[in-house]
Structure formats: C-alpha cells, structure tokens
Structure 1
C-alpha cells in the first residue's frame, strides 16, 4: 500500500504516544483499520490526538484471566503499531467514526501517566524502522505460491472471502500486512505476527498458522462425521 506524503519521517516519530488497547484489533503498516469511538475517555483521546500529530497507537491487552489486576487496566503486550487518523467524522449520537492507517510498529519502553482517562506509553521505534520504507514492487517472499495455496485452503475451510484478484498484484509486505490485520486469526496469533519484524519471517509464521488452523478445523469436521 502506498505510503502517503502525510506519513511522518522516522526521525519525527513521537517520544510519547496515546494508545487504544483493543483485543483482536491489530494494525499493520500501510493497512487501514476503521474504528467506532464512543467511550468518553477515548473521545477525549481522539480529540487530543487530532490536536497534535494525528498519531494513535493500537495495541492488544494481555490476557488477564486468573490475575487480580483490574479489568480496566490490563497489562499491554510489548509491541503495537501507530496509525495516523486519515479519515474522521462525527455522528449525531455522539460517536466518532475514523480510519487509522498504519504507520510504524513500536515497542513499549514504559507506560506513562494517563491523560483524560486514556493510556499513554513511551514507544521505541528502532526495531521497526523498515516499516516506513516503501515496499519494493519486485520483492517476493520465498515460496509465494505455496503461501497462497495455504491461504486458499484456510479460506475455503473457514469460509473466509478475500479479493483474490487484488491480492495477486500486491507486493509481499503489503500482502502479509493486510492478512495479519484482517484474517480471523486468534489474538495470540495476531500478536506473534505483529512482533515479527521482517516480512519473510512473518510470512513463514503466517503460513504455519494458516496450515495449523486448517488441519485443526478439518480434524473437528472428521470427528463430527
């Protein structure tokens, strides 16, 4: 996906970042994520972000089952992705509907004091500096055909519809990032993918996850019959 001229340069990425913890919602560089904001604290967060650099961090909360930590402040996974608000509208019933476009992943170095009820972190960007590079149009992951075959089997078994014609023309980084964000994988699988810095390794991991999920579903079907 095209990196727009509104994307910040690596040197301009912020040292503090508001974050929106949401299980199962993974943002990846160049990928768009629609959000429907209605909680007062997150409405304040969006207003503050729009008044500043338009950058917002998406991150998954960690599983807090069997812990005594309050549900409203779960631990955060160490890696998330910052997105730029590229579309924004207000509704008559007090919601904000927006679109985040992924910019660059980050690693949390520390959590900062909250502001207006929402959470903030100090992000480290260095491990994911390549996220801001334009994907090479000629880049190809190893065994792309096998990767696509694994994706086709997964989609057939899971009943997932994807725009195959659009995927065919995508460069590998954009293809893998789009699938990371939008396939119905588990939150744990999505987190493992977002934490894998390089596209080739992320593609290998994704192919393995798709094949395991396909086999597991087929085994369940066999048991039912």
Structure 2
C-alpha cells in the first residue's frame, strides 16, 4: 500500500489546498513529479504542507501573460481551471537553501474561490467530484491502445537518437506508461493542459499519439512515415 492509497473517496481530500503555479509542468494521478524549490514563498508552502496534510496542487498559469506574471512574487495571475494535487512523498534539503521534493499524484481538481490568505503562496477552494475516478488505480486502462503508443514512441526516439529502457516500459501498466510519457513530454503549456484535462486515460493516450505524430511531421514533412 502506498501513501496515496489512503485517499479512497473525495471525502478523504481537503476542501482547500495550496497551489504551485508552474507553466509546462503537469502532474497526473499516481504519477511522480520532482520539483526543485528555491523561492521563499514556495519553501514556506512546502514547509507548511509537511506540517499538515502534505498535499500541494499543481496548476498552470492561464496564458502567456499569466506565465510571465506568475514569476513575479507580487502578482496573482489567472490560473487554469483544472490542476492535479499530489502528496509530498520525498523531501531533501540541499546545502544552498533549496529543497528537492517529489509529488505523487492523487487526483485532478477544479479550482474554486481563492482564499484571502496570510500566506505568501496562494490557496484555493477546490472540487474533486468531477474527477472521482482518478482515485481508482488503473481505471479503464484496459481500453488504452498500447501498441500504437509504443510504435509512435519508438519512432520518436529513433528520430531523435534517443534511448529508452524498454524492459521497464514493457513492465509498466498502461496507466503508468501513458501518464509518465505525458508528464515528461516536450510539448508546450497548452498541450500539457489538454493532456491533463483529457476525460479518460485512452483520450489522453490518443491525444499524446496525435501530438507526437504532429511533431514528427513538422520535423520531417517530406519524409514522415506516420499514417
């Protein structure tokens, strides 16, 4: 049993959470996201989370202007309406004042009202009910077109001269494979948000395949073999 298995229903999750706005970074249920924390406001957020429920919400800023504004401590730019919460499952301090944490994804959420908080980081009321199925490990993963994903992954890696641990890939569940590839994919904030908001795991898989096919076509428009 993992730490995130304790969340069996939406009632096990808090109604308000701290959020970490970060463009181009998404977390997905049971996926892992390493974070290097160095800004004072987010160091305080991590410290408070460790003293409390250990839950932090990852949310992307909504739009290019919001991405720029999110880097300024005195600004509160608009955020995307859907994020994913994770539990801090590893924590390490560095010698230069930073902390390195790993968030393990629990469930997506929809943001509600922002709290008028005294903390330097932002906190929101959130709703989990829309994504209650996220709490079920491997939900509908048998519907995933795994072979098609592996075909396009191999083509992408070969095209870029990259290697992969195919033994680990073969041993991965469909959920782990799709969500891990989405998290580390090189696509932009809008594409990452679309992957996050995909209704089902197979919807996310098909979107990832389509994005990768498009990337290959743009790389070699005259030679692309993707059908």
Alignment TM class, shorter chain as reference? 0.7 to 0.9
The 10-residue stretch of structure 1 (42-51 or 114-123) with the greater mean CA deviation from structure 2: 114-123
CA distance in 1, matches of 2:165, 2:116: 43
Partner in structure 2 of residue 15 of structure 1: 15
CA distance in 2, matches of 1:142, 1:121: 33
Equivalent in 136, 149, 156 of residue 154 of structure 1:
156
| Contact 1:37/1:96 (<8 A) preserved | yes
Unpaired runs of 5+ in structure 2? none
Q: CA 1:111/1:5 → structure 2, altered by over 3 Å: closer, same or farther?
A: closer
Equivalent runs, 1:157-176 vs 2, <5 Å:
157-176=159-178
Give 3-state SS (helix, strand or coil) of 1:209's partner.
Answer: helix
CA distance in 2, matches of 1:115, 1:214: 47
1:135-158 superposed Cα distances (whole Å, 9 cap, x missing partner): 16x943354212211121122224
Equivalent runs, 1:11-160 vs 2, <5 Å:
11-65=11-65, 72-135=75-138, 139-160=141-162
The 10-residue stretch of structure 1 (16-25 or 141-150) with the greater mean CA deviation from structure 2: 141-150
| Contact 1:79/1:195 (<8 A) preserved | yes
Post-superposition offset of 1:67: 11
Question: Number of residues paired by the alignment?
Answer: 220
Give 3-state SS (helix, strand or coil) of 1:86's partner.
Answer: strand
Q: CA 1:205/1:7 → structure 2, altered by over 3 Å: closer, same or farther?
A: same
Q: CA 1:66/1:24 → structure 2, altered by over 3 Å: closer, same or farther?
A: closer
CA distance in 2, matches of 1:81, 1:44: 20
Give 3-state SS (helix, strand or coil) of 1:213's partner.
Answer: helix
Give 3-state SS (helix, strand or coil) of 1:65's partner.
Answer: helix
Partner in structure 2 of residue 214 of structure 1: 216
Equivalent in 170, 182, 197 of residue 195 of structure 1:
197
Cα RMSD of the aligned pairs, angstroms, is 2.6
Q: CA 1:67/1:98 → structure 2, altered by over 3 Å: closer, same or farther?
A: closer
Give 3-state SS (helix, strand or coil) of 2:84's partner.
Answer: strand
CA distance in 2, matches of 1:45, 1:38: 11
Unpaired runs of 5+ in structure 1? none
Give 3-state SS (helix, strand or coil) of 1:148's partner.
Answer: helix
Runs of at least 4 residues of structure 1 off by over 4 A? 66-71
Give 3-state SS (helix, strand or coil) of 1:219's partner.
Answer: coil
CA distance in 2, matches of 1:130, 1:25: 22
Partner in structure 1 of residue 182 of structure 2: 180
The 10-residue stretch of structure 1 (84-93 or 60-69) with the greater mean CA deviation from structure 2: 60-69
Give 3-state SS (helix, strand or coil) of 1:140's partner.
Answer: helix
1:146-205 superposed Cα distances (whole Å, 9 cap, x missing partner): 221112112222444432221112221221111111121222111101001211111111
